[in-house]
Amino acid sequence: MPGIPRHLPDGRLLTHSDEDGMRRLLLDDAPITPPDLQVRSVIGTYPHSDGDERILFTANDLDAPTELHVWSVDADGEPTALTTEPGVRRGRSR
């Protein structure tokens, strides 16, 4: 998958897993994206004000396979949709 594997600045390893027909992000082998999100690519990472590294990625919901949105997730596995309007969205890191 584009953008991984990669080491985060703190040394943790970001990879992916294809299980039960879904692609999920793993951080040091622990899933950090939910099973109902199909991850398509990793755009990059950025530091958050709380000190954690955020991971930017594109994904689609199971119920919307023709849409693609930009998401952010932290090490705790709390994904946030950064785009919500219907369509195909992309992102890029600086």
User: What is the per-residue pLDDT for 94?
Assistant: 63
pLDDT digits (tens, 9 = 90+) for 28-87: 999 999 999 999 999 988 887 777 788 999 999 888 888 899 999 987 778 999 998 887
Whether 22 shows a pLDDT value over 70: the answer reads yes
Whether 93 shows a pLDDT value over 70: the answer reads no
- 94 versus 62: which is more confidently predicted? 62
AA identity, residue 28: D
Taken in order 47, 6, 43, 75, the sign of the CA dihedral is negative
CA dist 29 and 94 (Å) reads 27
What is the three-class DSSP state of 92? coil
Q: Say how many C-beta atoms besides its own lie within 10 A of residue 39's C-beta.
A: 25
Provide the whole-model pTM: 0.86
Q: Are the C-beta atoms of residues 15 and 26 closer than 8 Å to each other? A: yes
